[in-house]
Amino acid sequence: MQETGHHTTVLLGEAVDALLGDAAHPYPDAASGLYVDATFGRGGHSMRILSALSPQGRLVAFDRDPQAVACAADIQDARFSIRHEAFSNVCALDSGSVSGVLMDLGVSSPQIDSPERGFSFRFDGPLDMRMDTSRGMSVAQWLAKAEVDTIAEVIREYGEERFAGAIAKAIVARRQARGPIASTAELAQIVADTVKTREAGQNPATRTFQAFRIFINAELEELRQALDASLNILKVGGRLVVISFHSLEDRIVKQFIASHAREEYDRRNPFAAPKIMQLKALGRIKPGAAELSANPRARSAIMRVAQRMPA
């Protein structure tokens, strides 16, 4: 399958520097550690990580997109391996074995710019949106049977769309009148006909497409599971680096780090030892002006960094 669109990796240098650290990194052998690129994409971060590792270092990548896995075959490096799995499966790695975990969330440019993937309302294509096209249900298949209340709830929860109810009713009415919605252009037009006001510069279908993509791929649940797993597989001093692209993702990451970055006392048992702080928040980084100028798709990116503390 021919891909259209070149992917520019967001926060490339900043993410890898945060992952491997610098002179302040607690490991004298940071470059020889085991690292995880939990969302390989098109390999930008992986290639930069490999360039910083010693011959003893290793990198394990995960991606559930078959096209991404196929791209990984171009990396001829014995230190590198990739798994065709969702990134929540980092839980399969040994506890305390990993020096750093990087997650670059969201959709890659080749995915967005390939009409046949159905991620974008800018192109007419099949209404798919699955990250892993080898399994699972497409958005079109789900919309062919979903009840109006379920559709509205998905749009409202994952798209933060105030017209969720009206859009859901329009989708079901269209389905009942003319049959299932099969293409991205059809869905985008239904939303545009329903949503009469929208923020300047934003397509009316933006939030609905985001909602359906997040839902059909269980993205937020995958993120929660991957974060929990990272806490287990990271060794003391290991880094967690997460780049998110919308508020739903960033809120989960922010709250996860915050909840593990403080000691918690049991008010019902004041003499009990507190729950130990497991993470130390190291910062929040956004793309600079030069990167935003070169890659407008980076404008919503937020990177959060944390370090594993002794148990």
> What's the CATH architecture for 12-109+219-308?
3-Layer(aba) Sandwich (3.40)
Distance between CA atoms of residues 181 and 190, nearest Å: 10
pLDDT digits (tens, 9 = 90+) for 221-246: 999 999 999 999 999 999 999 999 99
pLDDT recorded at residue 4: 42
What does the angle CA 296 – CA 105 – CA 263 come to, to the nearest 5 degrees?
120
pLDDT digits (tens, 9 = 90+) for 27-40: 557 899 999 999 99
pLDDT recorded at residue 242: 98
Distance between CA atoms of residues 184 and 119, nearest Å: 8
pLDDT recorded at residue 269: 66
Q: Would you kindly state where each structural domain of the chain is located, as residue ranges?
A: 12-109+219-308, 133-216
What is the CATH topology of the domain spanning 133-216? DNA polymerase; domain 1 (1.10.150)
Mean pLDDT over 166-180 rounds to 97
pLDDT digits (tens, 9 = 90+) for 252-274: 999 999 999 976 655 666 655 56
Inter-residue contact 102 to 19 (CB < 8 Å): yes
Outline where 85-147 has alpha helix (H).
109-112, 139-143
Taking the CA atoms of 138, 140, 144 and 145 in sequence, report the sign of the dihedral they define.
Answer: positive
> How big is the chain, counted in residues?
311
Its pTM stands at 0.90
